[in-house]
């Protein structure tokens, strides 16, 4: 559910929504959600001084009942 929410949020921010990929992994420290976006969208997703990325993380953590980490990457990696 959290991965779907992140995907919905990110796809509405970027210019290339077809390049958005969201994968969720469970580990000992909690849930890890990896978001990959087009290199041209990375600045838009991170935002000025990381404000957009922090806002996405805040919304996801508010929805979760456990520890969640959101990593944002571009498709080159």
pLDDT tens for 39-58 read 999 999 999 999 999 999 99
Q: Specify the residue for token string 């456990």.
A: 66
Instruction: Name the average pLDDT for the chain.
Output: 91
Give the 3-state secondary structure of 26-60. EECCEEEEEEEECHHHHHHHHCHHHHHHHHHHHHH
State residue 56's pLDDT score. Answer: 94
Per the CB < 8 A criterion, the answer to whether 4 and 70 are in contact is no
pLDDT higher than threshold 80 for residue 33: yes
pLDDT at 76 over 90: no
- Going from N- to C-terminal start, the domains of the chain cover 1-74
Pick the CATH number of 1-74 from 3.65.10.10, 3.30.300.20, 3.30.70.20, 3.30.70.260: 3.30.300.20
Q: Are 41 and 76 in contact (CB under 8 A)?
A: no
Region 20-36: mean pLDDT is 92
């Amino acid at each position: 559910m959290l991965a779907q929410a992140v995907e919905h949020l990110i796809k509405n921010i970027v210019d290339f929504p077809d390049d958005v990929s969201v994968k969720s992994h469970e580990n000992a420290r909690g849930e890890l959600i990896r978001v990959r976006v087009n290199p041209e969208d990375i600045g838009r997703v991170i935002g000025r001084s990381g404000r957009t990325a922090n806002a996405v993380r805040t919304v996801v953590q508010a929805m979760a009942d456990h520890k969640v980490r959101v990593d944002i990457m571009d498709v080159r990696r």
